Amino acid sequence: MQPFTVHKGRVVPLDRSNVDTDQIIPKQFLKRIEKSGFGQFLFYEWRYHRDGQLNTECILNDPQYKGATILLTRENFGSGSSREHAAWALVDWGFRAVVAPSFADIFYTNAVNNGLLPVVMPDEVVDAWLKQAQKEALMMTIDLCKQIVQVEDGIQFSFEINPVHRERLLEGLDDIAITERYVNDIEAYEKARPLVALYNEWV
């Protein structure tokens, strides 16, 4: 998992509330088990018409946002089902962070676990940035080390994040990497377990 320390990127303004996981990655694309390859299906039903033609009115299809790495949106992002594929799709598209007033709890955790930084900002700040980004190109710098967000020629805003989540993102640790940190402890515990306890588990 790619570590997240300081990131500067172009903002995509997605002026929608309550974006759920089925909108982020529709259910028909969930059969894949690999984490890669989901970016092409991100917001599929917004990006394409029913006949499969590209929807040129969808902001994600606007050429000016090609290569943008920060998604700016409204409250309750990632609501709905708990599908981890939503985080996979956003990361595979190229997003490094999502900035919103609030997130669904399970999506928030899935995002962190996959190296996608969810940043909670006040409604009024997000509203001002959305308006600015819809008028002109908006670059944003997110410093996870200092827990600060800043747009060009703008003031800095601090954000809160669980220290465990922060460490995980800063060091780029997925579940396997975290488990590997405790291999010696796990092996020592297994060796110290009484054979009787193991026998009772087997029967």
What number is the average pLDDT over the span 135-151?
97
Q: How many CA atoms lie within 13 A of 85 on its CB side?
A: 25
Task: Label residue 196 by pLDDT band (50, 70, 90).
Answer: low
pLDDT for res 188: 79
Let me know if residue 1 belongs to a domain.
Answer: no
Let me know if residue 158 belongs to a domain.
Answer: yes
Let me know if residue 14 belongs to a domain.
Answer: yes
Task: Label residue 183 by pLDDT band (50, 70, 90).
Answer: confident
What is the spatial distance between Cα 92 and Cα 22, in angstroms, rounded to a whole number? Answer: 17
Angstrom CA distances, 183 to 1, 74, 113, 163, stand at: 19, 41, 20, 22
Decide if pLDDT at 203 tops 60. Answer: no
pLDDT for res 131: 96
Let me know if residue 116 belongs to a domain.
Answer: yes
Let me know if residue 36 belongs to a domain.
Answer: yes
- Residue in the block written with tokens 């000016």: 64
Count of domains forming the chain: 1
CATH number for the domain harbouring residue 50: 3.20.19.10
Q: What is the residue-averaged pLDDT of the chain?
A: 92
Let me know if residue 182 belongs to a domain.
Answer: yes
Amino acid at 116: L
Using DSSP's 3-state secondary structure scheme, residue 100 falls into strand
Question: Do residues 144 and 165 make contact, with C-beta atoms less than 8 angstroms apart?
Answer: no
Let me know if residue 156 belongs to a domain.
Answer: yes
b/e per residue 74-83 (b: at least 16 CB within 10 A)? bbbbbbbbeb
Let me know if residue 39 belongs to a domain.
Answer: yes
Q: How many CA atoms lie within 13 A of 67 on its CB side?
A: 7
158: domain range? 6-202
Question: Do residues 73 and 90 make contact, with C-beta atoms less than 8 angstroms apart?
Answer: no
